[in-house]
Amino acid sequence: MPIKVQNDLPARSILESENIFVMDEDRALSQDIRPLQILILNLMPIKEDTETQLLRALSNTPLQVDCSFLMLSTHVSKNTSASHINKFYLTFDEIRRQKWDGMIITGAPVELMEYEEVTYWEELKKIMEWSKTHVHSTLHICWGAQAALYYHYGIPKYKRDKKLSGIYRHKVLHHKVPLVRGMDDYVMAPHSRNTEVHKEDILKHPELKLLIESDEAGIFLVMKEDGSQIFLQGHPEYDRMTLNNEYHRDLKKGLNPELPCNYYEDNDPFNRPILSWRNVSNTLYANWLNYYVYQTTDYILEPDQE
């Protein structure tokens, strides 16, 4: 799929080196096509890495996608330069009157805090409420999924006894649901988190459908029946080296992290990690864009009136 990005976004050169078709703003304007408008609220600390991962994940259908990045006014990123944020990111006030085909809300490294203790919780609540009327389908990732399940449905998160890190085997439960169409009976996918939501809490809500789960890692994919809200308690967008970088970072900090499960060849942390989840990532994001955004969104996105 041609991904439309700003001409000098750093992720562009990385994606082009992987033979992913990235369309610049000038060429996109010359095509008589209405691209899908996707808004990405990037809460991850190293924003350039997450930008590249998500743009790569969105690049596997014939659809043209125009991605915009959203920042929070109540939070200052410590790991990404202010110049990058100011150049490539929009504020909520700049976009709140617009309608969007799709939105992605990422995870964030705040999972051990209570939601109400997170400094930007009030602003995030406002954005999640706004998404119900201004976004056709919203995909929430990891802590973003837990936060949305809590805000929209009152579903709590629970602290795990130890961090879940690695690549885990999951069972696909409903193959007829378009979001998991084309997936095998079992799929591998990454997790990296200290908290979780529980299956019994999901099942208390008949409007929510559990689509993929793991005996070891628990809930992976849940959606609202109409597809307007999707909750992903894992990281299929992760690069091959993401868990490796997290592991060695924590090792240097003296945190004594456990080796990520099912990740390194021969369980040697100095071997190249095995990439075993790219297919499920491509399938999931392509199905979301096709069946829950492109096929059902309005052709004309009318902005709110002043």
Catalogue the active-site residues.
142, 235, 237
Q: What CA–CA distance (Å, rounded) separates 204 from 199?
A: 9
Sign for the CA dihedral angle at 47, 109, 20, 290 comes to: negative
Integer distance in angstroms from the first to the last C-alpha of the chain? Answer: 34
Q: What CA–CA distance (Å, rounded) separates 186 from 172?
A: 6
Q: What CA–CA distance (Å, rounded) separates 79 from 241?
A: 19
Inter-residue contact 195 to 158 (CB < 8 Å): yes
Question: Residue 217, class by beta-carbon neighbours within 10 Å (0-12 exposed, 13-18 middle, 19+ buried)?
Answer: buried
C-alpha torsion angle, residues 165, 170, 174, 178 (rounded to 10): 60
Q: What CA–CA distance (Å, rounded) separates 25 from 294?
A: 21
Inter-residue contact 91 to 60 (CB < 8 Å): no
Q: What CA–CA distance (Å, rounded) separates 137 from 278?
A: 23
Hey, which residues does 23 pair with through a beta bridge?
4
Q: Which helix (H) or strand (E) holds 223?
A: strand 218-224
Alpha carbon distances (Å) from 24 to 9, 28, 232: 10, 6, 30
Inter-residue contact 275 to 242 (CB < 8 Å): no
